[in-house]
Structure 1
């Protein structure tokens, strides 16, 4: 290919502009690396560059965070490319159909996804400055997209905290307060979610808005800049095993190409680094794997430092690691990445086209059937990923049944989804929907199972043939009969989060709602346990009854069945004690230590952004001074250190509150804080391993870690049994697939065992060690124990994990509204 030559007049103009552009240090008024830059100052610098050099920098605000900070994307390239940006984008996307004549490499660099891994945003400013000055030749055949801060809320939380707590001058002693963030660290976003684990699940506004832009570009290369422990050398590609089997030989090899280029610069400076360790390419929701599964070269770069490092800190070998050091390393790998892309643009374009050719995957189609609300929830996610699907309309299909894990022939329902791998996003379809991802190594960085059919609770068949389907049918509309207020009552079902949101909306409008404890039949139809019953008599004093009920039914797409009588054909009449009023529920969540920051955030986000129901947050620093009688429910999120958290008097007060009618939801590690040894007088008992603890087997040092995997569960999916007659399980069938994140195991309750594992503990998907499988046999997953007039609800597994295990969320809603 002939090199692109700039006209002399334009070249001289660019040289003049480059000389006039202020460096970050000049613009900010302090030397980069001597202070942490607040997000608004970063925005100012990028706006300054776009204003000063509009021929080569285009800035786009693509969204806002929960705390209303702007999310930015900067496009950096040659004047010709910026002027032709839309044509370059559309021509590049044609590569997915093999029709493109694209000539430009697309590189996307994402910074500061973890807020307290703060160096990368600083490095981004130096990187873009050098791309516009010393390294502008890289931009001739390359378009660089830079997101200077994916997580502005977390970054400013850290930067503000650091500025408030640092010594002047900064102190390198790692024991000094400036190196020890508290519980509310800057790592996560506003809702305490880890945005680097949300690319596929899209639970957070930052992820949702970013993916819209990502799908408009599908870059050849995507880099996610991170930090790790203070004492760790720099990490860059190639990645570690396991690689998902869809990662192509070229994607593997090109990671080596990039890594060797980085090594050249690191070697010249005498900087330490490592590759092919720790950070694998398997879990699909990372900033390296998700772009990889969309055809790019996705990579994580890790600099030693994080929130512990501050402006400078002593390492364990006595060296001082400064923010300036950290900036230099990230700047180097960023520029090196663009350099490699510029030199290999033709190959990147060619291989990107090859990625999107038809793949010979084992399963060609996935057929998913089940409740319409769950189908709708999944299609909303598929739409965000631009995954195509259709409706079966009936018939039958043969393939692997996810429920039985056998090859069978099943009849499709009229609303069954059919999702084919024969589409642009076919590789992503396989990764997200396949029954069990092939695992080449059990030593992984994250969970090993995530299959969306299990996560959404849909009966699924994986077929080895391509099945025909009708057009996409997004979020089918139910028949919603208008509420006129004359009916004796209105009835609706209870089996999804849409139903829970509908109930939450009614309760906030002070509409009184009952629920059925037994199945019943009226002339209008049959209704299962948990069905909601809204009567005219219960709401006779509510002037907004009709309008509020209509509004909620329309908003939540609810089909309300009107009935003229409370007399049922079979089951219990509406005046029966088996048709109970759902009382007003005031909820509180414990925050702060000993709860996990992330898992507190999962509960907080569930109430505010998923259920849309008010919740009080009681911090552990003062919660013991709060009058618990003001609350009906207290949630203890999973965490570490609960064993020593509750003092004797606090535990006694908690026990008394439950006995007086309170509802305590203990999740994961929180159960350890209220066990029988602590005096709470619960009947739940931990199951200990049957393994002889006195038996010692000699093993090599190298084999130790792998041997330990026999007792580990790395995020695997298990089929459990369910008691659907219990209020905690209303809306569920007699089986449920749970995502188990560890081997904590508790014996069955004498009464109140609701979801549980039987003897068969081989995972449906993911990795579980042989000893761990033995330990979790015949153990509790979810259960309820009565205490006086109240209850303790145990959630050994986490139904709210990362906000994506959709089918577990109704258990949590049941715990709030149905268990009484």
Structure 2
């Protein structure tokens, strides 16, 4: 009977046309007077909030209407997504504040300068409310509408004070593309009356769902690496303000209630001061009071990490803000059964609205505390940096200008002070050349974000983490870097922007051959452009030294040779194509007038072989990793401009794979493949196909006898079965068995085609899964093998570290006329692990030549 009454109430709430007062009484029970000139969201949109999923264009339209009708609201577009949707920021503050908004902003920026005093109590506190970073976490975008309306239209004295004493920045949709993907799904499958059954299609989006952006990237993990256009736009705006409070609105499983920080003590960053986390507790009392008042259940100090600057709720902590995650149990539609009863869409929205307003209330009440917290944070960062063992970091490699400039651009994105070298420097056997390397002092206000970029993760005290526990960008880039331990270093001139690399052909047209060393990351981009234009290109399987217009020049494994005589186009046309390849790829291509090398193989050697243009297919769909699929798609599109074909996994066996010469299987469950599909893949490989597999897909390839290799099994499981543990420790014990992103070092064969372009046998992998490969019995097939002491950083159990050490990271082999590559890891991890994603590019271009 109770369930029936709840359902009847829900239907009345959602399906009847009720007036604005009814909605306002539900969402704003204490508010009385609203400015009638400002339309409510339901008046503007034509439906009650909570009865329909609001598309991004509707969010944009309503915020623009608020800016027209309220002098408290000002809107700006900070960029566009890959699908051309606008990214908006709404600034809400008192009109008198907005008249001086530039001055207010500059005063807040001075918080980073330890020599300047903290802001006085007369200054407004800055609060950033960020919604819908995960597009299918349905309630947050709706909450943004209502929260903005409340602040724009409410006439009570408390709200007037909020606006006078705060600048409130609202990002209504951090992930517009994903939000619309989810909106279309939920709106397409909602029912009349709504269906609460969790099995209903409305509550179960199909692959890839709306969590991620266009390239299936989790934008909540992209704040540090900044690989996506949405992230770069947002970071640019963030560094214009440095908010005092930053809230990230999320959703979690339907059977959960509501979560806000403080976070578990063992899952906090060891390099941040405890005061940063104390700020969570200060604001938590306002959040608890607000939810207590409306009777909503909640929990704190459980489940979620708060240590990594990759997140929207934690990145601001590294700039002196109080960053907070809000997690609301999700209805994933209009209503869904849960262990707490029927969970309705309006209920989830109300919790986020209530806590968003409570955040503003708490920030205004605690602003003097927040100002002092941020000022002390930057002061202590300088002190911490000056005490750190590394007094500075130097990075850069003249052999890879592309990645050097890419890392420099990222450092500058985070507004870190970086300088040119004032002379050549050799550290730890690495040569850093003036003009091609850069230095970053540790003793600066941004030391903690510098540490995150260049140092291995500091030791962690907990073992059960929500996500990745090691994220160092410098290790990921595969670019040489070093720590300077001597405080007597000197600095060159400050660097304010990355230098655009001007691609050139270093001489006039040649009648013999053009040459491109493979060490630069963008050499792959030049190669695909040339192949796309029909140019015959060869790659060197052994190094050589050539006579060039610039003199004697060494060319490493994989270097490209473009002979003039072998082409189907005229020498002049070839020269024009090579020039465009150099310009677009931003690389330097040189020439030679002779095939007789000064050292090493000559240009007519059989060790220089022609490269076939890759035609690549990627398996996608149910059971396949959304993130890894997106990473491969992004890499091939954005790095090579290669139009990879995304095949549905269920179509294999029904289509002709002969159209493609390369097939990529990322991590996923391939056990559902039909016998016809498996046979199709096997026949395709036998006929000469190039199969590349990641993680579980590599295990599947071994199980299907595509390569005669082996996977390590857990040799301690039988012992564990006899161990007796307390039930309360179950979650932590089992979670600790996972491998959530540790960094490990491997030895890689730089003479192997998969490693062409590398100059160092030591390579860093991120380990995010439990696939552990035995080294191959074929003595030439283990391309990369973890060192005996391979562990670098991140939480990984001792048992897993022992199994990973000495195991294989990459194995290749031939099957019939084709080849199979097994990656034990994901080489494209979150778009920024360039040290290994270039190995995937090599596997695509050169994999077929390992026979």
TM bucket normalised to smaller? over 0.9
The residue aligned with 1:5 is none
**Contact 1:366–1:462 under 8 Å retained in 2:** yes
Distance 1:267 1:577, change over 3 A: same
2:577 aligns with one of 542, 548, 556 = 548
Tell me, what secondary structure is at the counterpart of 2:127?
strand
The residue aligned with 1:330 is 352
Tell me the equivalent position of 1:106: 126
**C-alpha distance in 2 between matches for 1:41 and 1:381:** 33
Match of 2:305 among 280, 298, 313: 280
2:69 maps to 1:52: yes
- Residue equivalent to 1:120: 140
Query: In structure 2, how many angstroms separate the alpha carbons of the residues matched to 1:151 and 1:735?
Result: 37
Say which of 336, 340, 344 aligns to 1:313.
Answer: 336
* 1:194–1:598 contact (8 Å) kept in structure 2: yes
Q: CA RMSD in A?
A: 2.1
User: Counterpart in 1 of 2:541?
Assistant: 517
Report which stretch shifted further, 291-300 or 693-702. Answer: 693-702
Please list the CA deviations of residues 171-223 of structure 1 after superposition, one character each: whole Å capped at 9, or x if unmatched: 11111111111112011111111010011111111111111111111111110
Please say if 1:180 is aligned against 2:204: yes
Q: Secondary structure at the match of 1:522?
A: strand
C-alpha separation in 1, matches of 2:431 and 2:579 = 36
Q: Which residue of 2 aligns with 1:490?
A: 514
424-433 vs 475-484, which deviates more? 475-484
Displacement of 1:749 in angstroms is: 1.8
2:173 counterpart residue number: 149
Q: Which residue pairs with 1:374 in the alignment?
A: 403
1:651-705, Cα deviation, whole Å (9 max, x unpaired): 22211111111101111111233224x3x44212111223251551122223334
Q: Distance in 1 between the 2:528 and 2:319 partners? A: 38
Distance in 1 between residues matched to 2:736 and 2:365, nearest whole Å: 46
Determine if the alignment matches structure 1 residue 88 to structure 2 residue 104: yes
CA contact (8 A) 1:757 1:776 kept: no
Query: Which residue among 85, 91, 101 is the counterpart of 1:75?
Result: 91
Distance 1:52 1:17 in 2: 13
Q: Distance in 2 between matches of 1:551 and 1:359?
A: 49
What is the DSSP-based 3-state SS (H/G/I as helix, E as strand, rest coil) of the residue aligned with 2:36?
helix
Deviates more, 1:29-38 or 1:114-123: 29-38
Aligned pair count reads 789
2:463 to 421, 433, 442: 442
Between stretches 714-723 and 571-580, larger displacement belongs to 571-580
Counterpart mapping for 1:256-655 below 5 A: 256-305=281-330, 309-317=332-340, 319-357=341-379, 358-361=382-385, 362=388, 363-370=390-397, 371-394=400-423, 412-414=432-434, 415-466=436-487, 467-472=489-494, 474-475=498-499, 477=501, 480-482=504-506, 484-523=508-547, 524-541=552-569, 544-639=573-668, 641-642=669-670, 644-655=671-682
* 1:410 CA drift (Å): 6.8
**1:668 counterpart residue number:** 695
Match of 2:21 in 1: none
| Matches of 2:194 and 2:456, distance apart in 1 | 52
Is 1:246 equivalent to 2:264 in the alignment?
no
Residues in 1 aligned to 2:647 and 2:617: alpha-carbon distance in whole angstroms: 7
- Cα gap change, 1:478 to 1:521, in 2 (>3 Å): farther
What does residue range 625-774 of structure 1 map to in structure 2 within 5 Å?
625-639=654-668, 641-642=669-670, 644-676=671-703, 678=704, 680-691=705-716, 693=718, 696-708=722-734, 711-732=737-758, 733-751=760-778, 752-758=780-786, 760-774=788-802
Tell whether the 8 Å contact from 1:233 to 1:272 is kept in structure 2 after alignment. Answer: yes
CA distance in 1, matches of 2:736, 2:299: 28
TM-score by length of structure 2 reads 0.89
Q: Which string of whole-angstrom CA distances, capped at 9 and with x for unpartnered residues, describes residues 495-542 of structure 1?
A: 242111121222222222111011112233221110011111122525
Larger mean Cα displacement after TM superposition, 605-614 or 753-762 = 753-762
Separation in structure 1 between the aligned mates of residue 529 and residue 208 of structure 2, nearest angstrom:
31
**Separation in 2, partners of 1:201, 1:222:** 19
Of residues 30, 50, 68, the one that matches 2:47 is 30
- 1:12 is aligned to none
- Tell whether the 8 Å contact from 1:514 to 1:533 is kept in structure 2 after alignment: yes
Number of the residue aligned with 2:23 = none
CA contact (8 A) 2:748 2:763 kept: yes
1:61 aligns with 2:95: no
Render the CA deviation track for 1:273-294: whole Å, top value 9, x for unaligned. 0011111211221001111111
Aligned partner of residue 818 in structure 1, secondary structure? helix
2:845 is aligned to 817
TM-score of the two chains, using structure 1 as the length reference: 0.92
In the TM superposition, what is the alpha-carbon distance from 1:145 to its structure 2 partner? 0.3
More displaced, 459-468 or 278-287? Answer: 459-468
Partners in 2 of 1:279 and 1:83 — Cα distance? 40
- Shift of residue 478 of structure 1? 7.0
C-alpha distance in 2 between matches for 1:759 and 1:505: 37
Distance in 1 of aligned mates of 2:706 and 2:580: 46
- 2:214 maps to 190
Aligned pair 1:777/2:802, yes or no? no
Which residue of structure 1 lines up, in the alignment, with residue 836 of structure 2? 808
Distance in 2 separating the partners of 1:203 and 1:596: 19
Q: Over residues 120-175 of structure 1, what are the superposed CA-to-partner deviations in whole Å (9 max), with x where a residue is unaligned?
A: 11011111111121423211110000000111111111111111112212111111
Q: State the partner residue of 1:405.
A: none
1:260 offset after TM fit, Å?
A: 1.0
| Deviation of the 1:315 alpha carbon | 0.5
Instruction: Give the Cα separation in 2 of the matches to 1:22 and 1:395.
Output: 64
Structure 1 Cα separation of the partners of residues 349 and 562 of structure 2 = 61
d(CA) in 2 for partners of 1:481 and 1:778? Answer: 44
CA contact (8 A) 1:753 1:780 kept: no
Of 26-35 and 803-812, deviating more is 26-35
- Structure 1: gaps of 5 or more residues: 1-14, 399-407
Supply the distance in 2 between the matched residues of 1:412 and 1:37 (Cα, whole angstroms): 53
Shift of 1:68: 1.0
Contact conserved, 2:142 with 2:349, CA < 8 A, in 1? yes
Q: Give SS of 2:77's match.
A: strand
1:4 aligned partner: none
CA-to-aligned-CA distance 1:593-632 (integer Å, 9 cap, x gap): 2211111111111111222212111112323221111111
Residue 561 of structure 1 and its aligned partner are, at CA, apart by 2.1
Offset, 1:482: 4.3
